[in-house]
Amino acid sequence: MSKKITLLGAGSGFMQPLFTDILNIEGLEDGIIGLVDIDAARLKVNIQLMQRVLALMGKKGWTIQASTDRREVLKGTDYLISTIEVSGTACVRFDNDIPLKYGIDQCIGDTIGPGGVMKALRTLPVFLDILRDAKKYCPHALIMNYTNPMSIMTLGSTRVTDQPLVGLCHSVQGSSRQFAGYAGVPYEETVWKCGGINHMAWFTEFAWCGHDLYPVVREAMKKKAVYEKDPVRLEMMKEFGLYVTESSGHFSEYVPYFRKRKDLIKKYCREGYLGGSSYYADNWPIWRKDTDKRRVDMATGKTDISLKRGHEYASDIIEAHALNRPKVIYASVPNTGLISNLPQTGVVEVAVLVDRRGYMPTYFGPLPEQVAALCRSNMAVFELVVDGILKKKRESIVHAMMVDPLSAAVCSPEEIRKMTNELFRAEKMYIPGWLQNKAVKGMDVKVARQVRKQVAALNQKPVAKTGGDAATQVSSMAARHVK
């Protein structure tokens, strides 16, 4: 059964592991591997790497089609996977350092907060263009997105395309394994239920042989050796009752509790993914260089390549759909009544059944209210960002920054507006141009431009007898447009 699987962002570190997983699918012995990346040099290395993987695995039925022009490769694609990174490392210091000037201390900054919002502004518009091309060149393809900010990417995408699309992450798989490890039980024998939003989904049940594991982990976390492995998440579990699906460092940015004061950062955050300040900004450029070198070494045979199948969901989706072997994955999907006490216009992360019919999200029910409230606080940011991007409303983006939990815990609305304007100026080469036009407060950019034109016209002719002075007339016009 021949299939065409195309990866956008083929220069990323996802390329080799994802395709190694796919090539391990029993019964899928031939097809086309489509590779697309706008960086020709990185694409060339990854073609060579993929050729070596095919040779090592003895997969003679597969061919490679690669190009820097996605439209050449999209044609005939059955499964489209996106791992794109817009702007590379060019903006990582802006995302981190400008908010830091205002007291907003980030660890990762790619999901929510100033860093997450700016990444969405760079990435979602590009991905929406990709989706329009996909609709033209491969209208029946199943689409998978791995790029953060996941919830924003999925929310915006599903409002533009009617193709089957899910957002994929590895936080549920990884976190469930961590929790089982803290409890000291075999992961394969556990049973659990999880739901929420990407990077903030909650294990509402976690059992082994019929025994609730929460009391076991609560007892285990009293030991410093356990607590120090995951301080923020275990602290949240202690106070809110449930274990969440993202690392302590990531999660510390999504709530207003841990990063608003230096003493709190010192108490709850640790180095690296456990909450290190500026961790992503300081290390991402180094990781990128190291990853590029490692790929060259693998492609040229200097370094061994792991050919084992991992636990990313992309290969499970392809196996379930192409060969009708039903599987359950966890993915970000529109909330069509799946979690009843989260916004029904938003995107949630729940169990999704996949078979030859495609993606079928499953009903979760209500989350405990204390954690549902935390999810809703993040979903408000996602909604404002997507609304702003789709409708070109600059003020919606500014308001997204203002309602971000961490930013709001540290700064006043005026300070957040100043920070946002500074970010827009610093990253103007990578974000939509309409963000550079400062709208009159309460109006979108288009209306603001109309008002400015009317102001200019009034300044060129006598003031109308019934209108008062020009300023009064402009104020009246603006008031009619305030939303």
Give the residue numbers marked as catalytic: 170
In 138-230, which ranges are continuous DSSP H helix? 150-158, 171-183, 214-220, 224-227
Give yes or no for a contact between 6 and 34, defined as CB atoms under 8 angstroms apart. yes
Q: Which residues contact 463 (CB under 8 A, 6 or more apart)?
A: 469, 470, 473
- In a 3-state reduction of DSSP, which class is residue 154? helix
DSSP state of 205: E
Kindly give the pairing relationship between strand 165-167 and strand 190-197.
Answer: unpaired
| Burial (CB count <10 Å: 0-12, 13-18, 19+), residue 460 | exposed
Kindly give the pairing relationship between strand 327-334 and strand 347-355.
Answer: antiparallel
In 106-170, which ranges are continuous DSSP H helix? 113-137, 150-158
| Burial (CB count <10 Å: 0-12, 13-18, 19+), residue 329 | buried
E strand or H helix at 7: strand 3-8
Q: How far apart are CA 246 and CA 110, in angstroms?
A: 13
Q: How far apart are CA 61 and CA 112, in angstroms?
A: 43
Give yes or no for a contact between 114 and 153, defined as CB atoms under 8 angstroms apart. no
167-205 per-residue burial string, b: 16 or more CB within 10 A, e: under 16:
bbbebbbebbebbbebbebeeeebebebbbbbbbbbbbe
Amino acid at 244: V
Structure tokens at 349: 């992360």
Q: Which of 86, 85, 105 is nearest to 281 (CA)?
A: 105
Q: CA quadruple 9, 10, 16, 21: dihedral positive or negative?
A: positive
Q: How far apart are CA 216 and CA 466, in angstroms?
A: 77
Return the bridge partners of 395, or none.
none
Give yes or no for a contact between 227 and 248, defined as CB atoms under 8 angstroms apart. no
